[in-house]
A and B are shown apart, each in its own frame.
Chain A
Amino acid sequence: MSAKKKAADAAIVPVNGASAPARARVQKAYKNYVGGAFVRSESGRYFQVKDVAGDEPGLVENIALSSRKDGRDAVKAAHAAGAGWAGKTAYNRGQILYRLGEVMEARRAELASEIERGLGLARQEARDEVATSVDRVISFAGWADKYQSLLASSNPVAGPHFNFSVPEPMGVVAIVAPRRPSLLGLVSAILPVIVSGNTCVVLASEDDPRTAVTFCECLATSDLPGGVVNVLTGKVKEVAPHLARHMEVLALDLWLDDAELLKELETLAVATVKRVKKHAVAGIDFGDERLAGLASLTPFLETKTFWHPMGM
């Protein structure tokens, strides 16, 4: 950058005693990501988050405060995307998720700056989290066409029957993402759910919703079909109970330490016998590669067993 240009950038034009930069930064509206589109909350409500670090500390931005109806719309989108996503070949799902890793890699700086200003992480710490998150996505992408061979079985029944069991996706999973880490926690929650063909509705970290929305921009440009991942910002306590009682949600994936809320959600899950996976977030080392282990996929898989007679 030339010294002349630098001087121009730094030029301050005084107005009534206040000052403004020569170029006003274009600010971004942060919206929910539903059905492959960025949409405002139908409620028209918002809450505010403040930059705690980075280039513009103190900057306040408005975030969609999602409602029950937003939750229902998101479930509808996830449900609609289900057959198409589960119906893709495992190879294709793997390629799309690998593509997500590629897109994230290219946007590492942006993602890191979101985490930095949202949660006040040191710059290097935020960059490290993004790097680990990209690597985690790549790791999960590789599972797409491999877990089946590890979990399926040919069963030697005592009779003239051909018998085998295969893992299948469940359908729509509602995820309450960890508050922190806002990106690594988010990918560690979403990827094991969708890699097998499930679709999901995710309640983003309340502490740092902007990182989640920027992550959605990666999803939107990664060839992932719209509706496979739907991300809502807002208050978990407000929206999660509606997802927990929604009849088209098959499972809950709860990265939560709030015992009272956990019990409420588990209780609501009973009405449709939802599968509930609980993660005690406080005790989790998100850098641990075992978070991308086979056991991360299994809570969102059903086993289907097929019998057929053998004989002439």
Chain B
Amino acid sequence: MTMQKTPRTKAQITPRPDAARPAGPALEFGDAWTYAPAPEARDHVKLKSRYDLFVDGRWQPAKKYFPTISPSTEEKLAEVAEASPEDVDRAVSAARRAYERVWSKMKPGERGKYIYRIARRIQEKSRELAVVESLDGGKPIKESRDVDVPISAAHFFYYAGWADKLAYAFPGAGARPLGVAGQVIPWNFPLLMAAWKIAPALACGNTVVLKPAETTPLTALLLAQICEEIDLPPGVVNIVTGAGATGSALVSHPGVDKVAFTGSTAVGKRIQQALAGTSKRLTLELGGKAANIVFADAALDQAVEGIISGIFFNQGHVCCAGSRLLVEESVHDLVVKKLRDRMMTLRVGDPLDKNTDVGAINSRMQLDKIKELVAAGEREGAERFSTPCALPQKGFWFSPTIFTGVTLSHRIAREESFGPVLSILTFRTPEEAIEKANNTFYGLSAGIWTDKGAKLFWLASRLKAGVVWGNTYNKFDPTSPFGGYKESGFGREGGRAGLAPYLEIDG
């Protein structure tokens, strides 16, 4: 027998060099998993070089403009207006006029038809919106294409149908709109958060002034274009771009009746503070530090998929990310091994590449925050593992990272990292799992992985969290209420519950 005739064993297969995925012994598929670049084309997307403010149905110039860049390449995508307090004032006045003269007087069914139009336009422009979302925010195209944009359209479609059915939503109680809603949204799901805010507000008969995040203003501006195209009455939706000062001017404006904010707990507290002593209504959807609890009896391979999507979906820029893995001690080593193996297959890189699993960190500022918290995790003695993947030279990147040996007192177990960073803790009994899961100021979401139905419900009823995923994670739907307990904020978005924050309900 000659050497040439020896059948090649798996170990002898030399994988093709692949910058994005270094060879590892764990999940080795030979050449089968070498991907050629598969970027989504962006030539059909025509961005303007400069975007004004969308106020009173028209594009109105501002005194100052700021650039919005792609976090994956740092290229400038467009210039965007920075709304001053005077601009915000004009937008609120326009919203007030539209509320009093048009929107609150319109037959509810007619209101609904305008909202249906928005839903349809989002579907028609879904490819353009997905590309811009990934360009401006850095998230993988497969997520913007399959999650952000379709659920945004679904959200408008869902709430459009509520417009003429509000009396059935709260039977026996009068339900009236509030007036002008001032809405401030984050950069992690720019279009989806705009949809979550605008759709129920309009369906309930309110008008809105919305401020998108300064790093991801573009899809909100494309949504403004859609409002223009569908002949939404002027002033019903106003989009004012800018940074913190613009948001602050909006939420403190005396002409705003209702404030809705999604973002960090720190900023949420500042808003709650600003509204103290006023009659403004407020809903807050803030941070989280969700426990993802894995029992030894769970289907572990499925659980590992859930852990992966729980923490690495959207680079971990998710308020409900499963950033604390609580794993039953007896399967800790096995789960960690499976998790590390699976992490090695994650492809980090170009957000527009259809094979990309983990895209760019949204901004340099966020990258610095993640790095700081990860450094604290190392300093405090937890053991770090980051996938040794090659990262692009330009842009903002962070490798998928897990920490083992984490205790509840570690900063990485207490603070929201808002990045692809998982802290792993263990437990021995279900009671200990509950105790650890609830040992946080946050209470947005939680995950439970077990094969035992009774145990699942026992835990679900004891977790102080607004959304509990059983044997799944990070699922969203317009019919499903979303929102937190404790310092994760108050109020719900989605479902019938999502109407209440935009209505005055008597009795």
Contact = CB atoms under 8 A, between A and B. Distances in A.
A302 B496 CA distance: 14
Contacts of B465: 304
Interface string B476-506: 0101111101111110100111001000011
Given A159-B475, A272-B486, A307 B277 contact: no
Contacts of B496: 153
A305 B480 contact: yes
B263 to A, nearest CB: 13
Name which of A266, A295, A303 has the most chain B CB atoms within 10 A of its CB: A303
Size class of the B contact interface (CB-based, 8 Å): 35 or more
Interface string A289-310: 0100111001000111111110
B276 interface: yes
B225 interface: no
A298 B481 CA distance: 15
B276 A267 contact: yes
Nearest to B477: A157
A302 B506 contact: no
Nearest to A262: B277
A275 B490 contact: yes
Given A270-B273, A295-B507, A308 B173 contact: no
B291 to A, nearest CB: 14
Interface residues of A: mostly helix, strand, loop or mixed? Answer: mixed
A266 B487 contact: no
A307 B276 contact: no
Q: How many residues of A sit at the interface, in one of the four size bands? A: 35 or more
A282 to B, nearest CB: 14
B124 to A, nearest CB: 19
A266 to B, nearest CB: 4
B495 A155 contact: yes
A293 B507 contact: yes
Contact of B481 (A156, A263, A275, A303): A303
A294 B175 CA distance: 13
Interface in B453-488: 456, 460-461, 465-472, 475, 477, 479-483, 485-488
Given A304-B466, A307-B467, A307-B470, A165 B480 contact: yes
Given A267-B276, A307-B468, A307-B469, A294 B507 contact: yes
A307 B172 CA distance: 30
Contacts of B506: 290, 295
B284 A273 contact: yes
B154 interface: yes
Contacts of B286: 273
A12 interface: no
Contacts of B487: 272-273
B112 interface: no
A295 to B, nearest CB: 5
Contacts of B461: 168
Contacts of B33: none
Contacts of A294: 172-173, 507
A308 B466 contact: no
A305 B445 CA distance: 9
B242 interface: no
A308 B480 contact: no
Contacts of A153: 481, 495-497
A106 to B, nearest CB: 31
A156 B481 CA distance: 11
A159 B268 CA distance: 32
B64 interface: no
Given A263-B276, A263-B277, A306 B269 contact: no
B482 A305 contact: yes
Nearest to B284: A273
A84 to B, nearest CB: 13
Most buried by A among B268, B483, B490: B490
A81 interface: no
Most buried by A among B265, B268, B467: B467
Given A159-B477, A259-B277, A273-B486, A303 B492 contact: yes
B29 interface: no
Given A270-B273, A303-B466, A304-B468, A155 B485 contact: no
Contacts of A156: 479
A302 B470 CA distance: 19
A163 interface: yes
Contact of B173 (A157, A168, A295): A295
A307 B471 CA distance: 8
Contacts of B154: 158
B483 A303 contact: yes
A159 B481 CA distance: 15
14 contacts: A157-B477, A161-B472, A163-B477, A165-B481, A273-B269, A273-B286, A273-B490, A290-B506, A293-B172, A294-B173, A294-B507, A295-B505, A295-B507, A305-B468
Given A156-B479, A266-B277, 19 more contacts: A155-B477, A155-B480, A157-B477, A157-B480, A158-B477, A159-B475, A163-B479, A165-B481, A267-B273, A267-B277, A270-B273, A273-B265, A273-B284, A290-B507, A304-B468, A305-B480, A308-B456, A308-B471, A309-B472
Interface of A: 153, 155-159, 161, 163, 165, 168, 170, 250, 259, 262-263, 266-267, 269-273, 275, 290, 293-295, 298, 302-309
Interface of B: 154, 172-173, 265, 268-269, 272-273, 275-277, 284, 286, 441, 456, 460-461, 465-472, 475, 477, 479-483, 485-490, 492, 495-497, 500, 505-507
